[in-house]
Amino acid sequence: MNDESTSSHLAPGRVRRHTLRSAAVLPLLGGLLALTPPVPAAAAPDSGAAVADASAGPPKLPLMPPALTSGATACTRPSKVQVNAVPWAQQSLSLARAARYSQGAGVAVGVVDTGVSAHAPLLAGRVQDTGDAAQDCVGHGTFLAGIVAAAPAPGGGFSGVAPLARIIGARGTDQKGTASAARVAEGIEAVVAAGAKIVVVSAALPGSGAALKPALAAAKAHDVLVIAPAAPDTAPPGSGQGASPSPTAYWPAAADGVLSVVDTDIDGGRPQGAVPVPGHADLAAPGNGITGIGPSGQGSYVANGPSVAAAFVAGTAALVRAQRPGLSAEETAARLTATAAHAQVPLLDPAAALSMVLPSGGPAAAPDETAVRLPAPAPRSGVVRRAGVLAAGCLLVTAAAVAAMAVARIRRTRRAAGRGPA
* 91: in domain: yes
| pLDDT over 60 (residue 403) | yes
pLDDT value at 408 more than 60: yes
Which segment of 73-87, 148-162, 383-397 scores lowest on mean pLDDT? 383-397
Confidence of residue 401 (pLDDT cuts 50, 70, 90): confident
Tell whether 315 and 397 lie within a shared domain: no
In sequence order, what are the beta bridge partners of 325? none
Candidates 165, 185, 164, 175; CA nearest to 112 is 185
Is residue 336 domain-shared with residue 387, that is, in the same domain?
no
The whole model's pTM is what? 0.76
389 and 349, same domain (yes or no): no
The residue out of 355, 373, 399 marking a domain boundary is 355
Does residue 145 sit in the same domain as residue 292?
Answer: yes
- Domain contains 333: yes
Does residue 24 fall inside a structural domain? yes
225 and 188 within one domain: yes
The pLDDT of residue 389 is: 57
Whether 160 and 18 map to the same domain: the answer is yes
- Render pLDDT for 356-390 as a digit per residue (tens, 0 to 9): 999 864 443 444 444 444 455 555 555 545 656 56
- pLDDT computed for residue 72 by the predictor: 79
Nearest to 20 by CA among 231, 285, 259, 273: 285
In degrees rounded to 5, what are phi and psi of residue 210? Answer: -60, -35
What does the DSSP assignment read for 55-78?
GG-S--PPB--SS--TT--SPPPP
Percent of the chain predicted with pLDDT > 90: 62
Do 146 and 272 lie in a common domain? yes
Q: Is residue 147 part of a domain?
A: yes
Per residue in 7-40, pLDDT (tens digit) is 434 544 444 434 444 444 334 434 443 333 333 3
Domain containing residue 391: 382-422
Report the distance separating Cα 118 and Cα 23, nearest Å: 34
DSSP 147-182: HHHPPPPTTSS---SSTT-EEEEEE-B-TT--B-HH
Q: Are residues 422 and 336 part of one domain?
A: no
Look at residue 274 in the predicted model and tell me its pLDDT: 94
Task: Quote the number of domains for the chain.
Answer: 2
Which secondary-structure segment (H or E) carries 338?
helix 329-338
Q: Are the C-beta atoms of 92 and 269 separated by less than 8 Å?
A: no
- How high does pLDDT run on average in the chain? 82
- Residue 199's contacts (CB-CB under 8 Å, 6 or more residues apart) are 109, 110, 111, 112, 188, 191, 192, 219, 224, 225, 226, 227, 314
> Does residue 114 lie in a domain region?
yes
The residue among 414 and 327 whose pLDDT is bigger is 327
pLDDT digits (tens, 9 = 90+) for 296-322: 998 999 999 999 999 999 999 999 999
How far, rounded to the nearest angstrom, does the alpha carbon of residue 411 sit from its chain's CA centroid? Answer: 104
Q: Which has the higher per-residue pLDDT, 5 or 172?
A: 172
Q: Tell me, what CATH number does 350's domain have?
A: 3.40.50.200
Question: Does any domain span residue 375?
Answer: no
- Whether 242 maps to a domain, the answer reads no
| pLDDT at residue 184 tops 80 | yes
Indicate whether 303 and 404 sit together in one domain.
no
Mark whether 337 and 406 lie in a shared domain.
no
**In a domain? residue 110:** yes
Query: Do 31 and 86 belong together in one domain?
Result: yes
As a whole number of angstroms, the distance between CA 264 and CA 309 comes to 8
Please give the backbone phi and psi of residue 153, each rounded to the nearest 5 degrees, phi first: -70, 135
CA of 230: how far to CAs of 45, 221, 348, 351, in Å?
38, 23, 15, 23
* Same domain, residue pair 105 and 194: yes
Where on the phi/psi map is residue 57: left (φ > 0), alpha (ψ -120 to 50), or beta? left
| pLDDT at residue 269, rounded to an integer | 93
pLDDT at 39: 32
